[in-house]
Chain A
């Protein structure tokens, strides 16, 4: 059993099989529960991809929603265009290529944002990524083809449970394997001490940009899933709050701890649903919880294991 658990490819396979089986059974599910489950899957992809940037590589990014919006818009525009030109036929075959295209364009955006801004550190980087996220939003607000401020609507509802969780498993697998590979130790080295890493012959900038591009790619995929789940998107959805939500997932999960981050993503997606009865106090409670946790448990909610290995401040 433990050998099975140690082989990531087998785990991925198991996760995909489970996702497909659950997905096949999801037709029987209550629509509301299914919607929340898909939200959770999307949140997991977002959180795990940001975890590669924020947690493993230590580059504080506040612009994840920007990359998500790129993926959402690109994939939605592709499916909408195809739907128009080919009628409302079966479009399932185009879904995955559209998602991939969204992810790739988002990755390109990640490269464009990453190369100049990753020269900065700490809160300067945070504010620049925030700025880029806002600029991406302002651009979408002004592009006619993207529907301007009212956004896109009537996107075909193609995101289902199986696709969401297959892609979530895939994101966890890629990020997990990447970080645990020989090459991937470089991410942790850059996180722990950039100067020491570069004196060991690693190229910190390269690692940072790689993390940024891969993170942005998965954020784009998540955005595509999101667009085809909600069927309407507008620039307002992908504002600073959305980025911050993902950052909170990563921090509560314990920066760089994949299992914790997944748990936090599940918890933070479920929490608003449970707080529906006190909806008017929901965001107040949310803010208070963040402040309290930062004071009481800054290392993350699900970070029980040994002390942080890193000695760098």
Chain B
């Protein structure tokens, strides 16, 4: 019983990171209708931004500390937002009205470019790096279970970020514009909404969340490398599809479900080596039986 609960917390912490990244996929899919393959790499860049920022910040504010951590989170999110906007501007904007497959291939190209550039010796190098300790956390026991405070920080930060995001999308003018573009971009531009600006903003918002996810991932798993975005990114995409792509609460739910399922399955004896396949198995089952995902709505295709 104890172990089940402990695994649940582990799964939720992993799922929270998936959820943060999945939201970026889902938002971009909402406005542009394509899979931004490079999103997982923005997440990786978030981790590395945190890694290098920590070396600078620690000169002013000694780490681990809460204030230093907050500063690093904030700066990383801004830097990642800029990275996301620049990627869209340089690679995707020239292809705005091209066939989707062209954009998809370009996205994979961008992803490869980031991965291999970062693997180069002059940038990050291919080897794994140890993520610095940002927060004064430790283990504590509660009812005979030992927990890591980092996991609760991860869950708390995710909750706060998701609340802020929901507020932006639901209550602000720019959020309304995002929903309008996602619903019908041609009609939205007739209403005076600048599609390009909204798309840039969406990329920025999604990338900021991915950057935050990168930091949280680094805090939980401590090892970061330039290829970490590939697997996590794909799984986050699976989470987005699981929840119903284009649907924000769905992406969060999908991320949590995937994180929990993966953690439990990985904990079972004899299953741990299949762990990486589980996400895809879930994806395939979902797409075959309910292609719209858990919370998605059916779209009717007109001829």
* A residues apposed to B, CB below 8 Å: 60, 116-117, 119-120, 122-124, 126-128, 130-132, 134-135, 138-139, 141-142, 195, 240, 244, 247-248, 251, 280-281, 283-284, 286-288, 290-291, 294-295, 298, 313
Contacts and interface: CB of A to CB of B under 8 A. Distances in A.
B279 to A, nearest CB: 8
21 contacts: A117-B284, A119-B288, A119-B291, A123-B100, A123-B101, A124-B291, A126-B35, A127-B237, A128-B284, A131-B280, A131-B281, A132-B284, A138-B276, A142-B273, A195-B303, A248-B105, A284-B117, A287-B110, A291-B106, A294-B103, A294-B106
Given A123-B35, A135-B280, A116 B112 contact: no
Contact of B94 (A60, A195, A295): A295
A134 B234 CA distance: 11
A290 B106 contact: yes
B74 interface: no
Contacts of B283: 127-128, 131
A135 B281 contact: yes
B95 A138 contact: no
Interface in B65-111: 91, 94-95, 98-106, 108-110
Contacts of B277: 134-135, 138-139
A134 B117 CA distance: 24
Q: Is the interface of A mostly helix, strand, loop or mixed?
A: helix
Contact of B105 (A117, A284, A290): A290
B284 A122 contact: no
Contacts, number: 106
A123 B280 contact: no
Nearest to B280: A131
Given A280-B120, A287-B112, 14 more contacts: A60-B104, A116-B288, A117-B284, A117-B287, A120-B287, A124-B241, A124-B291, A131-B283, A132-B280, A135-B280, A142-B273, A244-B108, A290-B109, A294-B105
B29 to A, nearest CB: 9
Contacts of B291: 119-120, 124
Contacts of B230: 240
Interface string B261-303: 0000000000001101100110110011001000000000001
Contacts of A131: 238, 280-281, 283-284
The interface centre, meaning the residue of A60, A117, A130, A291 with most chain B CB atoms within 10 A of its CB, is A291
Contacts of B186: none
Q: Which of A283, A286, A287 has the largest number of chain B CB atoms within 10 A? A: A287
Given A122-B100, A127-B237, A313-B99, A287 B113 contact: yes
A286 B116 CA distance: 10
B276 A290 contact: no
Interface string B228-265: 00100010011001000000000000000000000000
Contacts of B273: 138, 141-142
A294 B109 contact: yes
A284 B284 contact: no
Contacts of B106: 290-291, 294-295
B104 A126 contact: yes
Contacts of A294: 95, 102-103, 105-106, 109
Contacts of A123: 34-35, 100-101, 104
Contacts of A244: 108, 112
B101 to A, nearest CB: 6
A2 B202 CA distance: 57
Nearest to A248: B105
B139 interface: no
B276 to A, nearest CB: 6
A295 B291 CA distance: 31
A313 B95 CA distance: 15
Contacts of A288: 109, 113
B141 interface: no
A110 to B, nearest CB: 15
A141 B101 CA distance: 30
Contacts of A290: 105-106, 108-109, 112
Nearest to B109: A290
A298 B288 CA distance: 31
B105 A283 contact: no
B236 to A, nearest CB: 12
A123 B241 CA distance: 11
Contacts of B280: 130-132, 134-135
B2 interface: no
A247 B116 CA distance: 19
Nearest to B101: A60
A224 to B, nearest CB: 24
B121 interface: yes
Interface in B9-68: 34-35
